[in-house]
Each structure stands twice: as structure tokens, then as C-alpha cells.
Amino acid sequence: MTKKDNILIIGAGLCGSLLALRLGQRGYNVRVIEMRPDLRKVDISAGRSINLAFSDRGIKAMHMVGIQDKVEPLCIPMNGRMIHDREGKTFMSNYSGRPHEYINSIPRGELTALLMDEAEALENVTIEFDKKCKKVDFENTTATFRDYHSKEEFTVKADLIIGTDGAGSALRKSYYLEKKFLFSFSQNYLTHGYKELSILPTDDGRFKTYKNALHIWPRGDFMLIALPNLDGSFTVTLFLSFDEGEYNFNNLINPEIVTEFFHKEFPDTLDLMPNLVEDFFNNPTSPLGTVKCSPWHYKGNTLLMGDAAHAIVPFYGQGMNASFEDVVEFDKFLDNHKGNWETTFKAYEKSRKIDTNAIADLAIDNFHEMKNHVANPIFKEKRKLEMALEQNFPKEYSSKYSLVTFNEHMGYNEAMTKGRAQDKAILNMIADNDIPTALDMTKEELRGVLKKVINETNEILEEDKVAKTMHH
């Protein structure tokens, strides 16, 4: 493990470009090979979400590589969820009771391009495009690629290969197919898929609806969400079942049915989206899946990172943030285990996997929460109470959402365990009328509620601990 090590990274998406930049800053020779064309020269965004939710864990990674000030201009702050009901009435539900906590909408293409530019500015980093990885020989640390233009195949030898090549990873496929070691792999799909739509800006380039929010139209079994873009447009995503319910992707087959569906379920969007039908039939419908696998590495030769190791559904807005955090965590282990790649990989995976499993599970939970509960009265009560607790006791209380999104010093698993216990505690106490939820409580009364919530949460955590030890 010396600075002379030649590292090959497969895939120059968000995770691969950040990793290349960081390893380049550390002095390694890095070669990145990407199958798609260079997005700085060609538009390749079709059908992939063009904007992403960017929050504290991702921001921490930008600080690590020293480009936070360049990323900031790309961000649009979203302070909360704007919920739209069937009548077109809206209410705002803030993400946090602390005013400095919000998430950002950021354009995928621009952020990736910035990371590529920064990485390529280092003399020890190169990025090549239009070359598809066919297979990886992880025993001999070589990878075979096919050039899309010349159609020729070539093999690259490296000291180390890291696969950041997304949910369809070629490195992971090689692990699976070669059967040289015990490799576990699961891919679970939701019964729902998604489709990208758009709200275009007004003729003079303004936003047609409130800019600083993540808009949600929750409808029980399905939903619509919208995130703002820098040019005044919104990227809108419809999450809908493939084949269940009165309307689904399999039966929305002509303009009349699509318009009827939106008219019935999302009437306030029709004025905003005159381009609805065109978008609907031009853009693909894509599946939503979770990928888990282990181990992520083979000896000290190869390693999976980002979506290649743990793809998740997008409902916590943490996919990119989790992949960026991978690089931050990996970076720590580079300091701890100088001299041996295998022990570095082992220690990194052992520490990281528990957190990536947790965020995968949280993202599925949040899917059900967003489409069902956000409009549910008891859930609204709970959110309002949590906001009041965060506002009044910013140091002592954080909701599950805040723990996951804004507490970048706490791992996902700890945030999930604590957050779930809190949720359970609050919902139980509201249902049993053990705590008041009136919003005109004095600070003292609120403190009494906080005390109860903390005690009840600790009891639940304790019970869970006991239950776990009994299982072992």
C-alpha cells in the first residue's frame, strides 16, 4: 500500500469521481474508466433523476475534499415538505425545528461534472469514457473493457480495482459469476416503479410553485414528488404500482387515461404541467430496487463502493449522501491501516455495512411513510410535537428524520435504532393520551413531554437490547 500504487476505478458517477479526487489528493495514481460518454460534452440525463437531495453527510464529503464553496451555488435549500391534498390545498411540514437544518436540491449532472473537473485537475488522475467493463479478473487484479467507438477489447492491470459502477456493477457481477468465494447477493424490487415528469418554468424563467420545498402529493398507494432546479423548473417523479390499483403503469396507456388519472388524483398539477402527456410517453418507467451483498471485497485486490455495494430506493434522499459518506469512512481507514489493503477493506466493510443496511431499510420505511402517513392526523400531531421539541430543546431532541439527515457524526444504524424507538414512544403516548399535543404548551410543559419521551425511548431501546441478547 504505497503511494505508487496504481488504482483503477470502474465508473465515474458521483461516488467514483469523488473517490478519484480523494485518492488523487492522497497521492495515488488513479485511472477511472466510465462506460457512458462524458456528460460534460453530451447530455445523458434521459430518464435518470436529474436532481438529488443533498444533505449533511454529503456536505461533509465536500468539506473533506475542500470544494464546499464550489458546490454551494448549485444548491437550492428545501426547508420542508409541502404536502398537496386532492383538493389542491397545501400545508408545509418543516424538516427540522432548527432553522439551520434543511436539505438541498442539487443537479446530478453539474455536481458530477464539478467532481470530474476537480479530479482531472490533479496530474495523477485520468478519466476515460465510452468504455464498458466486460469482466474483472479479481484474482489477478485485471479488468477487461470494450471501447464503444473502436469496438476493440483491452485489459487493464492495476494494484487495486474499486468498482463504483452502480447498481448494475460489472465487478459485482464477476464476484457472483466466478464462484471463487462465498458471495451473497440479494436484489429486491418494490411493486412500484417511477417515471420522471417536469414542471417547466414560467416564460420569464420563474418557479410556478413554491421554490424552497420538496413537494409531495401523497395518495396512500402512490405519490408524486417534485424538486426544484436552478433554471426555475421542477423535476417531478411519479411513484406508482406496475400492476395494482385502479390506475397503474400497465394501464396508463393513452393520453386520455393519463389526463383522467391526474385530473382525479393531482388536479392542482394540470395547470403546472401542460407538457404532462408528452413527458409521460417520452420518458421511461424504471424499477425501484434494493441491492445488498457481501463481502464487498476480495482479498486486498478489489472492492465495491457506493450503489455497486448497496443500492437503495430513493425515499430518504440518502442514496448519493450514503455513497459520499462511503468515501469519507473509507478515507478514515486509509489512515488507520497503512500498509495493507486487505485489512483496510475488511475493517472498512465491517464498520460500514451495518450502516448501509440500516439506510436501505429506512428508505423503504420512508416510502410507506411518505405515501401514507404524511397526511394522517396522528402523524401530523407527532410531527408538530417534534418540531416544538426541536425548536425549544435543540440540543436535547432530534427526530428520526433529523438524526438520519442532519447528524452526520452518527452512523445510520444508530440513527435508525434511536429514531425508531422515539417514533414508537411518541406514537404510543399520543394514542394513549399520555402526553398533551396542544401547541400552546409552556416551555415547562414541553420539558415534561420531553422527559417522558426520553424515558419511554430508553425503555424501548433497553427492551430491544434484551430481546436481541435472548435471540443469540
pLDDT value at position 250? Answer: 97
Determine contact, residues 392/336, Cβ cutoff 8 Å. no
Q: What's domain 6-75+107-187+289-368's architecture?
A: 3-Layer(bba) Sandwich (3.50)
Give domain limits for the chain. 6-75+107-187+289-368, 190-287, 376-471
Q: What is the pLDDT along the chain (472 residues), one digit of tens a residue?
A: 556 789 999 999 999 999 999 999 999 999 999 999 999 998 765 555 678 999 999 999 999 999 999 999 999 999 999 999 999 999 998 999 999 999 999 999 999 999 999 999 999 999 999 999 999 999 999 999 999 999 999 999 999 999 999 999 999 999 999 888 999 999 999 999 999 999 999 999 999 999 999 999 999 899 999 999 999 999 999 999 999 999 999 999 999 999 999 999 999 999 999 999 999 999 999 999 999 999 999 999 999 999 999 999 999 999 999 999 999 999 999 988 777 999 999 999 999 999 999 999 999 988 888 777 666 788 888 988 999 999 999 999 999 999 999 999 999 999 999 999 999 999 999 988 888 877 788 999 999 999 999 999 999 999 988 888 876 6
Q: Which three cell numbers stand for residue 230?
A: 436552478
3-state secondary structure labels for all residues of the chain? CCCCCEEEEECCCHHHHHHHHHHHHCCCEEEEECCCCCCCCCCCCCCCCCEEEECHHHHHHHHHHCCHHHHHHHCEEECEEEEECCCCCEEEEECCCCCCCCEEEEEHHHHHHHHHHHHHCCCCEEEECCEEEEEEECCCCEEEEEECCCCCEEEEECCEEEECCCCCCHHHHHHHHHCCCCCEEEEEEEEEEEEEEEECCCCCCCCCCCCCCEEEEECCCCEEEEEECCCCCEEEEEEEECCCCCCCCCCCCCHHHHHHHHHHHCHHHCCCCCCHHHHHHHCCEEEEEEEEEECCEECCCEEECCHHHHCCCHHHCCHHHHHHHHHHHHHHHHHHCCCCHHHHHHHHHHHHHHHHHHHHHHHHHHHHHHHCHHHCHHHHHHHHHHHHHHHHCCCCCCCHHHHHHHCCCCCHHHHHHHHHHHHHHHHHHHHCCCCCCCCCCCHHHHHHHHHHHHHHHHHHHHHHHHHHHHHC
